[in-house]
Amino acid sequence: MDISQPDGEQNTKGHYIDAAWKRVLSDGIDDAIAFFLPDLAKDRDASREIAKAMDAFPVLDSEGDKGMRITDLCFSVPVMGGESRKVGLFVEQQHEDDEEFALRVFQTFYRMSDSFKEKITALAIFTGGAKDRNEYLYSCYGVELSFRYNTYHILSHDIEELRRDGRAFAPVVLGARMMIAAKGKAPNREKYVRELLNILRERDYDMKRRRFIMKFIGNILNVRSGDISAELRREFYMQWVPMSEVQRKLAIEDIKEEGKMEVARKMLAKGIPVETIEECTGLDEGDILALS
């Protein structure tokens, strides 16, 4: 798994933010439910796994965003009170403002309800400048409809509040909140990444949680950027990759270097010009001359 590249489309900032949210919600759905929907979490049947229903349910595409609706997520959540009882959960993440957002949530909710044949709940997570739209209203010659759904806006909680929140999904939301606070400035982003690393060190997360949280932080705060220090990138990488894998990668790099040096030594012994050896091995002229 490479933290240097964000997941999904990179044509705009919003696309890879959307993809990062899709990944972290899919990987950490139990923790997300505990954070965003505590009432559902209390009724959750922990003896059965949450099933992702994306493949069984078509996602709506908006007219101007055809093919880009990658963040709608549908889950089947087992709940207490019967062997087969379950609740459908539809999650929509919205980064930019969209006046038709509430309509789309209603349409998707209706289609899922018709397909799922079980009770459905919906959650909208607003992660950027999008307005907190929590209701769809419809009126047409005597027909009145009011549809409300669960919402959470990243900007509704300040950073200090999230720092104190001990729930497992809190570092994810904190990372997203810090991304907004950083305003794209490298020193701010580096400061926030270091703080998030310290928070994760203090909390006893299993490797699965650590991986999906670190992956999300890397994407959302753009750890791949050249203006993030090499020291931080190395520290970030070593925090969530098992030490055995780090050691293996370092060993491979050492072997590659030793291999290059040995090839260069043999080429020098055969009188091959230094320029040719540089081109073949990628070594610097000084390193090659030091072998003679």
Residue 24: other Cβ atoms inside 10 A: 26
> Radius of gyration over alpha carbons of the chain, in Å?
25
Secondary structure (3-state) at 262: helix
Name the strand (E) or helix (H) holding 146: strand 143-148
Return the axis-axis angle of helices 274-281 and 243-269, rounded to nearest 10°: 160
Q: At residue 137, what are phi and psi to the nearest 5 degrees?
A: -115, 140
Q: At residue 241, what are phi and psi to the nearest 5 degrees?
A: -95, 130
Sheet holding 120-126, edge to edge: 51-52, 73-78, 86-94, 120-126, 150-153
Lowest-pLDDT range of 50-64, 156-170, 190-204 = 50-64
What confidence tier does 270 reach under pLDDT thresholds 50, 70, 90? confident
How long is the chain? 292
Q: What pLDDT is attached to residue 65?
A: 46
Tokens of 202: 């203090």
Residue with tokens 């010659």: 141
Q: pLDDT digits over 173-190, tens only?
A: 999 999 888 887 888 888
* Beta-ladder partners of 78: 86
In the chain, what are the domain boundaries? 1-156, 157-241, 249-289
CA–CA separation, 199 and 192 (whole Å): 11
Q: What pLDDT is attached to residue 12?
A: 45
Q: pLDDT digits over 94-138, tens only?
A: 888 888 999 989 988 888 888 877 889 999 999 888 888 999 999
% of residues, the chain, pLDDT over 90: 32
What is the rounded average pLDDT of the residues 59-67?
45
Residue 32 and residue 49 in contact, taking contact as beta carbons nearer than 8 Å? no
What confidence tier does 25 reach under pLDDT thresholds 50, 70, 90? very high
Q: pLDDT digits over 208-261, tens only?
A: 898 899 889 988 887 776 667 877 877 777 676 655 555 555 555 554 666 778
